[in-house]
Structure 1
């Protein structure tokens, strides 16, 4: 019996899927083409450019990483996976991958792991938001001491959970891609080039996800032990936390009521932090959805 195709809600097949960086309307190019995907195919060229740009952003990342920088990396990663999904939906791409069944199976396993990890992460971020909102209410009521102590304990536990549940999953995938090239090298053969951009998409997913999970974990736990780094992460100093979250340590010193200036400072800092958490939550959710779509496309290739 012929295996059934996996159905799902799809986006329209268009590119580039870049984050909106200007008010000028962008021209849309449809990628349903009768030509065999090869090195001259515009979608593969765009994917390679986006992969190189994201790798370059990490190699020249700021010494003090901020949530804005992290959100930008997540947006770039989402664009890459959306373009990869578009590529995987082309019949010619699926045909070219039929000769690489083992590779497709391995990539599918990687994407299943990514989807699982980002699903867990979304649950963790929701818990963080709830704890943060409860602490904000306590600060407004000038009842911050006990609640901030509880909040401090909660996010430290969350950081430890990230280290225990999320990072090892990435580590198992990273073992297959320990050496990350500075640039994606073009491969003359059309099929090999499709395979190349798919592998590199996995590599940058590990890179960005490591920065996200490890950065938050370090910021929450304030611990420099038991960290691991992947590929160029040694140069990028993956042990660095996220600036805004590290600054939250100043709040733990607030332990009594009646200091109006301290209360105002804490309230302002927590409001800024709420925006940072919201940005990371949104960026993570968009990456999660793009991973889901790419996973479905890979599954369709594998079951055909």
Structure 2
């Protein structure tokens, strides 16, 4: 009986011992699984995430200021440079293995982003071609002024009219970018929410800057065109004139190009000087938009590599 009782005590002790040692082993698996979830996406303290948020905030601040002021070529070039840096930073984020793993789990969403960036690349390609054509017309109109040849001014009027039409189309197109990919955000897991939010915000500010750029060019060319052909200010044009075009376009004195034969030498030199300023303005915008164009291509290539590798 004594031996049996001892065995019962030992058995009871063993059962209690096995139970007590099993409970401390539970936390390690939980800590491990939590750690795995945290590296699926760079955390809030990751430098690239912080940099992207700062750059996005800078662009949004510019939007708030642009609403109340007429943009200049300098401000547009500055914001294009900020946009280029934003996409360069995004490209660095897309190179991170954890970012690539997160996006590979949502290939359907990446495909929508690829469509968005293809449209961004397309509109900036068209914009570049439009600026090249406008610069050529700028040279033509300067020659016409020197020769006081008003008959050749019609080609410049046609160029401005074409520019206005193309810019309005680009503005309409770019405003639709991002809507399809944003709808997919509701299906993204909580672990990927930060990455989804960053990509959504990058899309939004890219659309915002692009609309401001194309709309500014459209409003500017509309204003210059109306002066060139000597139209009377209709109600429709009065409304258009209130739209904010690029400052240099409206300060270039394009209206002084009419009645060239009646202009004095000083007036002609002043008109040529302002057109040269406008040409420089167009060149700076062309350079800034080209850098954005290349950054958009790089970002799209990075997204494409994530799906194909």
**Coarse TM-score class (shorter-chain normalised):** 0.7 to 0.9
Gaps of 5+ in 2: 1-38, 183-188, 227-234
Q: TM-score, normalised by structure 2?
A: 0.74
**Structure with greater helix share of residues:** 2
Distance 1:134 1:126 in 2: 13
Residue number among 140, 155, 162 corresponding to 1:150 in the alignment: 155
Q: Does the CA-based 8 Å contact 1:170-1:210 persist in structure 2?
A: yes
Conserved 8 A contact 2:112-2:180: no
SS of the equivalent of 2:44 reads coil
Aligned to 1:72: 78
- Residues 9-158 of structure 1: pairs in structure 2 closer than 5 A: 37-61=42-66, 62-139=68-145, 141-158=146-163
CA displacement, residues 177-225 of structure 1 (integer Å, 9 cap, x when unaligned): 99xxxxxxxxx96622122111111101100000111110111123896
Larger Rg: 2
Q: Is the 8 A contact 2:41 2:194 kept in 1?
A: no
Contact 1:160 1:221 in 2 (8 A): no
TM-score normalized by the length of structure 1: 0.75
- Equivalences for 1:273-288 in 2 at 5 Å? 273-288=278-293
Larger RCO: 1 or 2 (CA < 8 Å, sep 6+): 1
Say if 2:73 and 2:246, in contact at 8 Å, map to a contact too: yes
- Paired residue total: 249
**Any unmatched runs of 5+ in structure 1?**
1-33, 179-187, 227-237
Matched, 1:168 2:169: no
Question: How many angstroms does 1:134 deviate by?
Answer: 1.5
Residue 205 (structure 2) aligns with: 204
Greater CA deviation, 168-177 or 64-73? 168-177
Q: Judging changes above 3 Å, is the alpha-carbon distance between structure 1 residues 225 and 216 closer, same or farther for their aligned structure 2 residues? A: farther
Match of 2:243 in 1: 239
